[in-house]
Structure formats: C-alpha cells, structure tokens
Amino acid sequence: MSLKAFHILFVALSTLLAVLFAAWSFQGFVESASAAMLTAAVGAILFAVGMVVYGVWFLRKLKHVSFL
C-alpha cells in the first residue's frame, strides 16, 4: 500500500470516527442537555467537514501520483 493510499484511508477513517463521535455527542446532549456535549458535537462536525475539505485538497494535489 502506497503512502498516498494509506493517507486517503486514514483521512476517511478519521472522518468516519468524527461523524460517529458527533452522533454520540449529540445523543448525549439530547439526553442531558449538557453544553459540553453540544460543544463536542459541533466540534466533531466541524472536524469532519475539515477532513473532507483536506481530503479533496490532498487528492487534487497528488492526482498525478499513483496509488501503487
């Protein structure tokens, strides 16, 4: 597995983890009305969006590099 392929996999898994954490945090917010859980959910969503933007930027930057 090339470094490019590993990097894309890592970004995708990080994004998925952030989305799952946001869902978990939002569920905790609904149950407890805690401001900390809402902050965590919003932060995780922003992180996930940032990871998607970074992933697109990375793919455009290295489009000429092979996945192998």
At 32-52, the pLDDT tens digits run 988 999 999 999 999 999 999
pTM, two decimal places: 0.81
Structure tokens at 55: 């992933």
Residue 51 CB partners (closer than 8 Å, separation 6+): 11, 14, 15, 18
Cβ-in-10-Å burial (0-12, 13-18, 19+) of 4 comes to middle
pLDDT of residue 19: 97
Q: How confident is the model at residue 4 (pLDDT cuts 50, 70, 90)?
A: confident
Average pLDDT of span 15-34: 94
Band (pLDDT 50/70/90 cuts) for residue 68 is: low
